């Protein structure tokens, strides 16, 4: 199915011919479905049990997957602009990413009905299926600078997915590109930090912290680096909110039970929350 483009003049002529009413007859497949693929999306929900609550769990999980992908897309766009020294322009996709993360967080509210009894009615049907196995969530973590090479091992038999994760693991994260931008703006960032091996997680560095302290000392309206810091702070906060709500949802529906994917469940999530996104952006606030 393909969407047939139209011009403003054609749209105005169609509205006049319809006397303001919507078009009701189409010779080709509906343009909306051709663009959104709504019929495809609504065919993707295939619950494994007869429990009505599983549909909610399944669809919200799929919605979250779409938000993971959309947020990754925006972060990639921001990185391209940072590479091109287009700091002002990079603010747009970063702000969109923060709003997408708000939508992602809102999805948790649709699952607040689920008690342990509700989840247990279909949980066994999931087998070892777990959100831990989301490749797109791993992509998002890598983009944000949270790297753990061992977490891509479950995807080794999915060759294309695994290759994409390996590439993302060894590519500069958004935070790496921000640090490189600070260096190009004249801040004293050590060369060994700029040239470090990218397959490992970034360790907080006092030079990066000092750069952010200096940036925030100037609050002029044309301080685009300060605005960049605020956009990144918003993303880090919203992502932290998602991790916290994930933990709370697990505690609400499972308590301290073992996770479906073999982890310790809530205890494992709690430990993972100690890894901070954009660490120097937070530690610098102590010295501002």
More confident residue, 232 or 222: 232
CA-nearest of 163, 131, 166 to 150 is: 166
The pLDDT-based confidence of 23 (bands split at 50, 70, 90) is confident
Radius of gyration of the chain (CA): 23
Binding site for substrate, residues?
123
The whole-chain average pLDDT of the chain stands at: 91
pTM for the complete prediction?
Answer: 0.92
State how far the alpha carbon of 178 is from the alpha carbons of 65, 174, 212, in Å: 26, 6, 11
The pLDDT-based confidence of 237 (bands split at 50, 70, 90) is very high
**φ and ψ at residue 31, rounded to 5 degrees:** -55, -35
The pLDDT-based confidence of 176 (bands split at 50, 70, 90) is very high
The pLDDT-based confidence of 264 (bands split at 50, 70, 90) is low
The pLDDT-based confidence of 256 (bands split at 50, 70, 90) is confident
Determine contact, residues 224/95, Cβ cutoff 8 Å.
no
CA-CA distance, 222 to 45, in Å (whole number)?
48
Binding site, residues?
123, 246
- Half-sphere exposure of 268 toward its Cβ, with a 13 Å CA cutoff? 13
State how far the alpha carbon of 153 is from the alpha carbons of 133, 139, 166, in Å: 10, 14, 10
CA-nearest of 126, 132, 134, 146 to 68 is: 134
> In the structure encoding, which two tokens stand for residue 168, read together?
């993302």
Binding site for heme, residues?
246
What pLDDT score does 259 carry?
61
pLDDT at 202 over 80: yes
Q: Which CATH class is domain 67-107+132-287?
A: mainly alpha
Determine contact, residues 98/234, Cβ cutoff 8 Å.
yes
pLDDT, average across residues 264-276: 74
Provide the greatest CA pair distance for the chain.
68
Q: Hunting for tokens 């009505």 — which residue is that?
A: 52
Determine contact, residues 210/239, Cβ cutoff 8 Å.
no
Task: Check residue 18 and report its DSSP letter.
Answer: T
Q: What percent of the chain has pLDDT over 70?
A: 96
Each residue's pLDDT tens digit, 87-143 = 999 999 999 999 999 999 999 999 999 999 999 999 999 888 887 889 999 999 999
pLDDT at 210 over 70: yes
Q: Strands of 27-156 (E only): list them.
A: none
What pLDDT score does 197 carry?
85
pLDDT, average across residues 7-25: 87
């Amino acid at each position: 199915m393909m969407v047939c483009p139209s011009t403003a003049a054609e749209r105005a002529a169609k509205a006049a011919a319809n006397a303001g009413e919507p078009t009701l007859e189409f010779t080709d497949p509906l343009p909306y479905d051709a663009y959104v693929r709504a019929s495809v999306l609504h065919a993707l929900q295939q619950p494994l049990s007869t429990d009505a609550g599983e549909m909610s769990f399944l669809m919200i999980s799929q919605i979250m997957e779409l938000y993971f992908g959309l947020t990754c897309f925006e972060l990639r766009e921001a990185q391209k602009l940072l590479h091109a020294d287009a700091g002002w322009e990079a603010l747009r996709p970063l702000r969109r990413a923060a709003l997408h993360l708000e939508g992602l967080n809102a999805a948790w509210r649709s699952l607040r009905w689920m008690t342990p009894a509700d989840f247990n009615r279909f949980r066994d049907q999931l087998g070892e299926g777990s959100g831990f196995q989301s490749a797109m969530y791993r992509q998002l973590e890598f983009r944000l600078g949270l790297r753990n090479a061992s977490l891509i091992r479950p995807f080794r038999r999915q060759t294309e997915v695994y290759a994409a994760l390996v590439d993302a693991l060894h590519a500069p994260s958004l935070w790496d590109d921000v640090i490189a931008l600070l260096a190009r703006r004249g801040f004293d960032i050590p060369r060994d930090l700029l040239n470090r091996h990218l397959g490992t997680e970034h360790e907080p560095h006092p030079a990066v912290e000092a750069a952010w302290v200096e940036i925030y000392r100037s609050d002029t309206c044309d301080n685009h680096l300060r605005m960049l810091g605020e956009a990144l702070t918003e993303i880090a906060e919203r992502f932290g909110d998602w991790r916290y709500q994930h933990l709370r949802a697990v505690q609400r529906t499972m308590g301290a039970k073992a996770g479906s994917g073999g982890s310790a469940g809530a205890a494992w999530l709690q430990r993972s929350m100690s890894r901070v996104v954009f660490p120097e952006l937070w530690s610098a606030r102590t010295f501002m």
